[in-house]
Structure 1
Amino acid sequence: MPKKKKVAILYGGRSVEHGVSINSARNIFEYIDKNRYEPLPIGINLQGQWFLTSGVSKDIAKDGQALALSLNPGKPEFIILKTGKRFQADIVFPVLHGTDGEDGSIQGLVKAMDLPMVGTGVTGSAMSMSKIVSKRLLKEAGLPVTDFLTFRYDEKDKFTFSKIAKQLGAPFMVKAANLGSSVGVSKVKTQKDFKQALDDAFKYDNEVIVEEYISGREIECAILGNYPPEASYPGEVVISDKYEFYTFDAKYVDPDAVRIDVPAKLSKPVAEKIRKASVKAFEALNCEDFSRVDLFLDKKGKVYVNEINTIPGFTNSSMYPVMWKERGVSFAKLITRLLTLAQERYDRGKRIERDFKSSLKF
């Protein structure tokens, strides 16, 4: 029987999405094929400290053993500080949503460790995490996006509600530029709303994006694989009338806030348009292995690409695994597929030379 591969499942993290990450990682730990893989849950607390935990725990520091890392590329070792015991991982599965986990930070560390890693690398993660950068790149790729404005914290006094409403119409959306899960996101209808929205967004970021509000349907599409990537059939998030938009509470707290329609009730031509746009967005932002593309479908049938999540949720109600389950891919098979994709991509990358033979003397 082949030796089990050790999979370091990174979860938690220094992010406002810390709790969501824990819930996602808990499912991955439960459903990973333990006949093929040995999961090593490594929790990162809100202070950024790493701990080996026996399972996926919400009390990471209390339940875990503090770790250090020996950077020996290709064979890095995790060191349990209390005992000095060392162990290695064969592959890394980051389940870190948001800051420091989905923005290229962890991806850069894993790349320096020279280990296979599930998901998008440094460049694609950084570009996709920034709502400003991704919007510009998607627009450059010819994909339909909403009209938008951007400004930094030091520019916040230059923009007024009336000035923005004149350019984008009202209501409009105000968002922290580098967060997910609808944290730092507000729907603005009045001057009073605008001030509160800015204060909230700038609590979490130094950059803000203001977007045209689209009255329509919230559509999501799951992407899996590389060369070429494959799109699921789209799903729809139907939000309760008591919510102005798809807020954090609607996503994770209130069980009656949304209805998930998988598959979405769409005509075949519209569904295909969404699938093609989702794959094109995935490729335009240099994504790898898997992502969830969020889109809007307005009342006239126009599709807008909203954003890409390079580490989508893996909770029981998360759309990404639900959309693939509808296509016949179980949670366990999906995890195995992702780990296989990561290993294949890592192996292909070995053909790239890291040394250049020249006459340079040093």
Structure 2
Amino acid sequence: MRIALTHNLRLSDLEEEAEFDTQETVNALAAAIERIGHRLERFEVSGPASRTVARLEAYSPDLIFNTAEGRRGRFREAFYPALFDELGFPYTGSDAYALAVTLDKQLTKLVLSKQGIRTPGWQYVEKLSELSAENLRFPVIVKPNFEGSSKGISQDSIAETLDEVRAKVAAALEKYPSGVLVEEYISGRDLAVPFLESVDNDYDGVLSPVEYVIDPAVTQGRKYAIYDYALKTSREGTVSVRAPAQIPPRTAEDVRRMAQKVYRALDCRDLGRIDVRLSDAGVPYFLEINALPSLEPGAGIYAAAELDGLHLDGVINSIITSAAKRYKIKDSSRRQGKPARKSGPLRVGFSFNVKRVKPTATAEAVEDSEAEYDSPNTLQAIREAIASWGHEVIDLEATAELPSVLSSTPLDVVFNIAEGFKGRNRESQVPALLELLDIPYTGSDPATLSIALDKGLAKKIVRQAGILTPNFQLMATGKERLNKEFTSFPLIVKPVAEGSSKGVVTKSVCHSEAELREVVREIAGKYQQPALIEEYIRGREFTVGLLGERRPRVLPPMEIVFLDREEKNPVYSFQHKLDWTDRIRYDAPAKLEPALLERLRTAARNSFMALGCRDVARIDFRMDDKGRIYFIECNPLPGLTPGWSDLVLIAQGAGMDYRGLIGEIMAPAIPRYKEREARRAASEHPASVLRKSVPLEEGTPAAAQPVAATAPAPASPAPEPSPRMDAKA
């Protein structure tokens, strides 16, 4: 199986990261999963949830092995399972509801009291005024209600008088305002009762109780025998696990029967751990449950599992097996009324135009006929990035034979960067073919690609959406009358339907009408299309990358800083993109005041949405000396040359590596693939699907084995030019 290991990585000794996994633990889990024979990808989820979603959609795992604790809030442990449910990914462990209930100690006790489970007397306190002395039996222990790993518990947590408990509750609420538990202190020993659902025994997977043994040298100076925060963190070497616990057989059976009832009542799945206090009189009291227990090497669950013949790999395999059985991952028929998730890699078509003519710019001439195409080096980098997510990549060079290749090649989804052949609709040609054949693909649809390529039409649309853009006009011959709204020079002239700064050179900034008409004639003759004339906006130039669909993620803007002080009216030209050394500097992220930054981000997001962009785009802006932001153009098929293209530099500035960028671009197309498979399944089995009433967006792809196919070999490229000389920005 393809397994995603989701976790929070502990980077410090701060209490707020106490429940997170150390690098040692992550490495141990990853190694065990791989030894068992699964393909693994690690997912550290402490960053933005949108990035986690994008990466998961890009990887498309068969199963998520989840140890993520979440960062904040009373429902933090439930956040990721709820997210996985929404995305339709199977995962290990209990669901969001069980995790939310079990993190709340007082709610857990309320649920279990109805099952006759013995617990110490307790009070839940959110405000000091709620503390009641009537039912307190001293000594009592004061602990945070919504924390694990003994956070907030020390020798000082125990109070023996009413004044002490008031002071300790007040201090605890100051640090843990969500609420604290005031619980009767039971003198005795700490036991743990682990649970592995797939273990076949008389207790439904409840393992033998284990005991925490504290070094006597440590306990000598302690008044209360409790397994507190210090022992779990800074002094963990002084605590060992004894398996089985040294308790009478009858007591061990009672503890396991009690744990069996607890796990059933709280609907824990796959794994868990219950903490029990065994009083000096031998009476077991339930303290709390951890439905997301530690799996660090040496944890009690491993010691207990060894008694059933399971070592570390066996424990991990048991968890995976339990989850796989629940989701029927190996069942090729149906799972919970949904099409079973496809086993094995997705077949990802990779559509492109390969660059064979090296772009140049000299005083005599400019060669830019294939400037928008991609070099073999760039294509290989993208190909490897897609494959690194575990997918099979099938090359689809956008030649005249592409329609027949598409119709005869089994594909799940297409990663599209093809520019097309000619005309102002050329970028929409491959997506239109894919839509005709009902093949999901990355990037914007044909309508958006056609509109965005036509700079004049794009400007009309964003202007209607209330976004500033310079005044502009189209000229087809250079003989047309110049609009009266152009009250002064300079003006800038460029082809209306080209990308990669094609046709934008130093002389594109015109200082007289005669210069302007000459440049228009050259553009019309060379590019066989009208020229766009627009006001030249003096000021700073920015480009903004966006990723996603309905609510695009706006990456930190990048500024193109012009270094030649003698150049009065600089423009980000074709020459700059071929050789930018000493002429421009890229500041990624741009240095902007917060208010200006937010206005730029808003303009980018609104432009993206006004043009109907999807998955990825890069939008260019100019900001004048008054702070007004002007839309210049939008590129929904931005260049992806590693270390060179603007979007790649923007992503690097945002802390995103190249592989992550490709994964985020690809991610939204995978749910579209799932939706297609769900529609097909519905049309094949309408009665079954209607009975289950499964929303389409929750469907997972129909099971299908990958079909081996030889990728069509691209024609031999010309000698590979330097990346900075041939890449598409």
TM-score past 0.5 threshold? yes
Aligned to 1:93: 415
Structure 1 residue 347: deviation in Å? 3.8
Contact 1:165 1:172 in 2 (8 A): no
Cα distance 1:38–1:253, how it changes in 2: closer, same or farther (>3 A)? farther
How far apart, CA to CA, are the structure 2 residues paired with 1:240 and 1:192? Answer: 29
Contact 2:589 2:654 in 1 (8 A): no
Structure 1 residue 264: deviation in Å? 0.4
Structure 1 residue 41: deviation in Å? 2.8
1:227 to 546, 550, 557: 550
Structure number, greater radius of gyration: 2
Counterpart code for 1:280: N
Cα distance 1:17–1:312, how it changes in 2: closer, same or farther (>3 A)? farther
Aligned to 1:114: 438
Aligned to 1:37: 391
1:277 to 603, 607, 616: 603
Cα distance 1:194–1:7, how it changes in 2: closer, same or farther (>3 A)? same
- Partner secondary structure for residue 111 of structure 1: helix
2:480 to 146, 151, 158: 158
Say whether 1:333 aligns with 2:685. no
How far apart, CA to CA, are the structure 2 residues paired with 1:352 and 1:286? Answer: 24
Contact 2:471 2:485 in 1 (8 A): no
Q: How does the TM-score come out when normalised to structure 2?
A: 0.41
How far apart, CA to CA, are the structure 2 residues paired with 1:3 and 1:352? Answer: 21
Aligned to 1:177: 496
Q: How do 1:300-315 residues align onto structure 2 when only pairs under 5 Å count?
A: 300-315=626-641
Structure 1 residue 336: deviation in Å? 1.6
- Partner secondary structure for residue 486 of structure 2: helix
Structure 1 residue 89: deviation in Å? 2.6
Structure 1 residue 342: deviation in Å? 1.1
How far apart, CA to CA, are the structure 2 residues paired with 1:166 and 1:142? Answer: 19
Aligned to 2:511: 189
How far apart, CA to CA, are the structure 1 residues paired with 2:678 and 2:476? Answer: 42
User: Could you list the runs of 5+ residues in structure 2 that have no partner in the other structure?
Assistant: 2-342, 358-367, 684-729
Aligned to 2:82: none
- Partner secondary structure for residue 21 of structure 1: coil
Contact 1:11 1:96 in 2 (8 A): yes
Aligned to 1:212: 535
Say whether 1:4 aligns with 2:336. no
How far apart, CA to CA, are the structure 1 residues paired with 2:668 and 2:485? Answer: 47
Aligned to 2:404: 69
Structure 1 residue 351: deviation in Å? 8.1
Counterpart code for 1:22: D
Aligned to 1:82: none
Which shows bigger deviation, 278-287 or 247-256? 247-256
Cα distance 1:90–1:198, how it changes in 2: closer, same or farther (>3 A)? same
Task: Considering fraction of residues, name the structure with more strand.
Answer: 1
Structure 1 residue 321: deviation in Å? 2.2
How far apart, CA to CA, are the structure 2 residues paired with 1:20 and 1:70? Answer: 23
Structure 1 residue 169: deviation in Å? 1.9
Aligned to 1:81: none
Percent of paired sites with the same residue: 26
Which shows bigger deviation, 235-244 or 335-344? 235-244
How far apart, CA to CA, are the structure 2 residues paired with 1:328 and 1:70? Answer: 38
- Partner secondary structure for residue 158 of structure 1: coil
Cα distance 1:102–1:254, how it changes in 2: closer, same or farther (>3 A)? farther
Cα distance 1:35–1:105, how it changes in 2: closer, same or farther (>3 A)? closer
Structure 1 residue 17: deviation in Å? 6.1
Cα distance 1:201–1:349, how it changes in 2: closer, same or farther (>3 A)? farther
Structure 1 residue 92: deviation in Å? 1.4
Q: How does the TM-score come out when normalised to structure 1?
A: 0.79
Structure 1 residue 35: deviation in Å? 4.9
Contact 1:251 1:257 in 2 (8 A): no
Aligned to 1:148: 472
- Partner secondary structure for residue 626 of structure 2: coil
Q: Please give the per-residue CA displacement for 1:222-261, whole angstroms capped at 9, x wherever unaligned.
A: 1111121110111101124276411112013344432110
Counterpart code for 1:337: E
Contact 2:389 2:663 in 1 (8 A): no
Counterpart code for 1:107: P
- Partner secondary structure for residue 308 of structure 1: strand
How far apart, CA to CA, are the structure 1 residues paired with 2:380 and 2:624? Answer: 36
How far apart, CA to CA, are the structure 1 residues paired with 2:553 and 2:431? Answer: 23
- The structure with higher relative contact order (CA 8 Å, sep 6+) is 1
Aligned to 1:139: 463
Which shows bigger deviation, 25-34 or 139-148? 25-34
Which shows bigger deviation, 284-293 or 338-347? 338-347
Q: Please give the per-residue CA displacement for 1:130-174, whole angstroms capped at 9, x wherever unaligned.
A: 101100000000101111112334xx3223xxx458724211011
Contact 2:442 2:665 in 1 (8 A): yes
Contact 2:470 2:632 in 1 (8 A): yes
2:625 to 294, 299, 305: 299
Contact 2:371 2:500 in 1 (8 A): no
Structure 1 residue 343: deviation in Å? 1.9
Contact 1:178 1:205 in 2 (8 A): no
How far apart, CA to CA, are the structure 1 residues paired with 2:484 and 2:571? Answer: 19
Q: CA RMSD in A?
A: 2.8
Q: How do 1:338-353 residues align onto structure 2 when only pairs under 5 Å count?
A: 338-348=665-675
Contact 2:353 2:420 in 1 (8 A): no
Contact 2:387 2:393 in 1 (8 A): no
Say whether 1:25 aligns with 2:349. no
- Partner secondary structure for residue 41 of structure 1: strand
Contact 1:9 1:25 in 2 (8 A): no
How far apart, CA to CA, are the structure 1 residues paired with 2:389 and 2:546? Answer: 26
Cα distance 1:131–1:283, how it changes in 2: closer, same or farther (>3 A)? same
How far apart, CA to CA, are the structure 1 residues paired with 2:617 and 2:421? Answer: 17
Counterpart code for 1:183: K
Aligned to 2:583: 257
How far apart, CA to CA, are the structure 2 residues paired with 1:302 and 1:296? Answer: 8
Structure 1 residue 88: deviation in Å? 2.8
User: Could you list the runs of 5+ residues in structure 1 that have no partner in the other structure?
Assistant: 51-66, 78-86, 356-362
How far apart, CA to CA, are the structure 2 residues paired with 1:207 and 1:271? Answer: 34
Cα distance 1:129–1:168, how it changes in 2: closer, same or farther (>3 A)? farther
Q: Please give the per-residue CA displacement for 1:106-153, whole angstroms capped at 9, x wherever unaligned.
A: 211111121111100011111111101100000000101111112334
- Partner secondary structure for residue 492 of structure 2: strand
Aligned to 1:167: 486
- Partner secondary structure for residue 586 of structure 2: strand
Q: Please give the per-residue CA displacement for 1:307-334, whole angstroms capped at 9, x wherever unaligned.
A: 1100111112112122223223221112
Structure 1 residue 349: deviation in Å? 6.5
Counterpart code for 2:537: I
